[in-house]
Amino acid sequence: MELARSLVGSSPAALTVEGLSWGPSHRAPIVRDLSFVVAPGEMLALVGPNGAGKSSLLRCLYRYHRPTAGTVRLDGVDLWSLPPRATARRIATVLQEPASDFGLSVAEIIELGLTPHQHDGSPHGYASVEAALELLGLAPLAARDFASLSGGEKQRVMLARALVQKPDLLILDEPTNHLDIRHQLEVLALLAALPTTIIVSLHDLALASAHADRVLVIADGRQAALGPPLEILTPAAIRETFAVETAIDSHPATGRPRFSFHLEPRR
Ligand code: ADP
Ligand code: MG
């Protein structure tokens, strides 16, 4: 994990969200009146049904959507008072849309993560590209054409690129949706070990509860619950948000909570 630590920024960011709403103009807001704080080094998991507003919220947090109300502050400074380059130096993202960088190799795509730091005299360079390739098991793919990779391989490349950026805040939108089981577990364990601040949307409640410090539940654009996973992800709360029944027991091998879901039996 030394390798992992060498890849993130040295000053994990605090994020303060206050009264945040966002929506396209002439429409009802899609995220509504959210307020929460993410502490430096904390890992916050964002969960909620399809269409709840998770991606929209994340876009506000990495300065893509300008809030229609409220603020998002990075170490106390409003994101929209900072030049875009200043946020690019501190915030890295792993998004769902596949990259549109055609004709580049895996190593070249990862190298793009160095761009925000190119003119600030920071010493790290290609060594961190090699470290990221190693860390994500991508070394054998380094010379491959990025476009030829599987969805899961691409997802790991995008994570490697984000790490090379040495972020103080790492924002990931469903980073495990294309990964096989082993890579899901590895990526979550890697994220949990990084000393940087992380906000990650996840569909898998067991992954969220095993690795996140806290969970934020978004339902219909609103903040339904926020707190430590086991306090928040109760069968009653999961029924309310996801309309499924849940049995939670303890995994016989790891002792971690195990979630099993079913639909309400038909009467
Ligand atoms: P989630 O990531 O939780 O699945 P999203 O944030 O992607 O949810 O979307 C929430 C809702 O807002 C969806 O109904 C989606 O269609 C709508 N939406 C998202 N972005 C826009 C936009 N730019 N214009 C109009 N509707 C949008
Ligand atoms: Mg989404």
Tell me the pLDDT band of 116, cut-offs 50, 70 and 90.
confident
| Of 31, 37, 43, nearest in space to 76 by CA | 37
Q: What is the mean pLDDT of residues 7-29?
A: 92
DSSP annotation of 97: S
Residue in 44, 161, 38 with CA at minimum distance from that of residue 92: 161
Q: Distance (Å, rounded) from C-alpha 137 to C-alpha 183? A: 10
Per-residue pLDDT tens over the stretch 135-178: 999 999 999 999 999 999 999 999 999 999 999 999 999 999 99
Ligand 2 centroid distance, CA of 36 (Å): 19
Q: What domain range includes position 56?
A: 2-262
Write the pLDDT tens digit of every residue in 58-89: 999 999 999 999 999 999 999 999 998 889 89
Share of the chain above pLDDT 90, in %: 81
Q: In this structure, is residue 159 part of a structural domain?
A: yes
Atom in ligand 1 nearest the alpha carbon of residue 58:
6
Instruction: Output the pLDDT for position 121.
Output: 53
> So what's the pLDDT on residue 4?
74
Answer whether residue 122 shows pLDDT above 60. Answer: no
Question: With 80 as the cut, is the pLDDT of residue 10 above it?
Answer: no
Let me know if residue 267 belongs to a domain: no
Q: What is the pLDDT of residue 159?
A: 96
Q: How many helices (H) and strands (E) does the chain have?
A: 10, 12
Domain annotation covers residue 107: yes
Cα angle: 233, vertex 265, 261; to 5 degrees: 30
**Is the pLDDT confidence value at 5 over 90?**
no
CB of 196 within 8 A of CB of 170?
Answer: yes
Whole-number pLDDT of residue 8? 73
Q: What is the pLDDT of residue 205?
A: 95
Pocket of ligand 1 (CB under 6 A): 24, 30, 48, 50-56
Tell me: pLDDT of 126 over 90: no
Using the predicted structure, report yes or no on whether residue 99 has a pLDDT greater than 70.
no
For 201-249, give the DSSP string: E-S-HHHHHHH-SEEEEEETTEEEEEE-HHHH--HHHHHHHH--EEEEE
Q: For 5-14, 120-129, 210-219, which range has the lowest pLDDT when averaged over its residues?
A: 120-129
Ligand 1: atom nearest CA of 50 is 4
Span from the CA of 32 to the centroid of ligand 1 (angstroms)? 13
pLDDT above 60: residue 223: yes
- pLDDT (0 to 100) of residue 87: 92
Each residue's pLDDT tens digit, 167-212 = 999 999 999 999 999 999 999 999 999 999 999 999 999 999 999 9
State the number of CA atoms in the 13 A half-sphere of 160 facing the CB.
30
Cα separation, 57 vs 53, whole angstroms = 6
Residues with CB under 5 A from ligand 2 (ion): 54-55
Instruction: Give the residue whose CA is nearest to atom 24 of ligand 1.
Output: 24
Ligand 1 atom 20: residue of nearest CA: 56
Asked, for residue 38, whether it belongs to a domain, the answer is yes
pLDDT band at 21 (very low <50, low <70, confident <90, very high): very high
How much is the pLDDT for 211? Answer: 95
Residues 93/163, Cβ–Cβ less than 8 Å: no
How many domains, the chain? 1
| CATH code (residue 139) | 3.40.50.300
Mean pLDDT of 8-21: 92
* H/E run at residue 131: helix 126-135
Judged by its nearest atom, the ligand closest to the C-alpha of residue 56 is 1
Q: Which of 25, 26, 30 to mutate to test the pocket of ligand 1 (most atoms within 8 A of CB)?
A: 30
Whole-number average pLDDT of the chain: 92
pLDDT at 6: 74
Is 0.75 topped by the overall pTM? Answer: yes
Give the pLDDT confidence score for residue 119 in this predicted structure. Answer: 61
